[in-house]
Amino acid sequence: MFPKLTPAVRLILFANIAVFIISVFAQDTTAGTQMVMKYLVLYKSNLLGFRSLDFAYEGYFQPIQIFTYFFNHGGIAHILFNMMALASLGPYVEDVIGTPRFFKFYMFSGIFAGILLAFLDPTDGPVVGASGAISGVLVLFAIFFPNAKLGLFFLPIYFEAKKFVLGIALISTLFILFSDNGGGISHFGHLAGMASALLLYEVENVVHRLGK
């Protein structure tokens, strides 16, 4: 049972669905496919020079991709899973922190995760999807509702939110360390999104304490 959708969650859902539909129809033409690849897919950058000599995506990275990749998705299952996660967790977090702050956290998690992905992700493949931003929402949910029970949609097993987040972080770390491509999932993106939300949350706390 999903909670009642809140304003920011509703807007983000609509934006993701709209971009997905546009990208699907756009790819019916060569020009449309090129547009999607250039503006709605995050390619990795070799600015720091640590990627392999045969890096296949040299020159594909465009700064605007950092702001757009997390509104695009790679297929029906991809967007469905991400939007279900957002609709399940987002309203509870938005009710606690308010609509403007929720939107700020979501965008910061997606954008900062995009920066980390573009320049530090050890894998070379391009990335799309809201997983990083939603991972940020997951961290906030665990902060505000640490003992709430969470589980994966396809498994009848539930864990306390704080343990669930730590488990996801551990699994993502293991995939990064021991898997070449993570099974096609951006585990680095998950960690980056979590770290982004936690960073902003801690910065806000410091600023609040200094302002007293």
On average, the pLDDT of the chain sits at 93
- Give the pLDDT of residue 50: 83
- Give the pLDDT of residue 38: 94
- Give the pLDDT of residue 152: 78
Which residues, 6 or more positions from 76, have their beta carbon under 8 angstroms from its beta carbon?
none
- Give the pLDDT of residue 26: 94
Task: Please give the Cα distance from 22 to 37 (Å, whole number).
Answer: 13
Angle at alpha carbon of residue 83, lines to 81 and 89, rounded to 5°: 100
Average pLDDT over residues 130-140: 97
- Give the pLDDT of residue 30: 92
Q: What percent of the chain has pLDDT over 70?
A: 97
Q: Please tell me the class of the 7-210 domain.
A: mainly alpha
- Give the pLDDT of residue 101: 97
- Give the pLDDT of residue 151: 82
Does the pLDDT value for residue 1 go beyond 70?
A: no
Task: Please give the Cα distance from 178 to 99 (Å, whole number).
Answer: 39
Task: Please give the Cα distance from 129 to 157 (Å, whole number).
Answer: 25
- Give the pLDDT of residue 182: 64
| pTM for this entry | 0.94
Per-domain residue ranges of the chain: 7-210
- Give the pLDDT of residue 95: 97
**Per-residue pLDDT tens for 64-121?**
999 999 999 999 999 999 999 999 999 999 999 999 999 999 999 999 999 999 999 9
Does the pLDDT value for residue 51 go beyond 70?
A: yes
- Higher-scoring residue by pLDDT: 184, 131: 131
- Give the pLDDT of residue 54: 78
Average pLDDT over residues 18-32: 94
Residue 149 sits at φ, ψ, to 5 deg, of -90, 130
Longest dimension (CA), the chain: 57
**Per-residue pLDDT tens for 145-180?**
999 999 877 777 889 999 999 999 999 999 999 877
Does the pLDDT value for residue 56 go beyond 70?
A: yes
b or e along 75-97 (b: 16 or more beta carbons within 10 Å of the residue's beta carbon)? eeebbebbbebbbbbbbbbbeeb
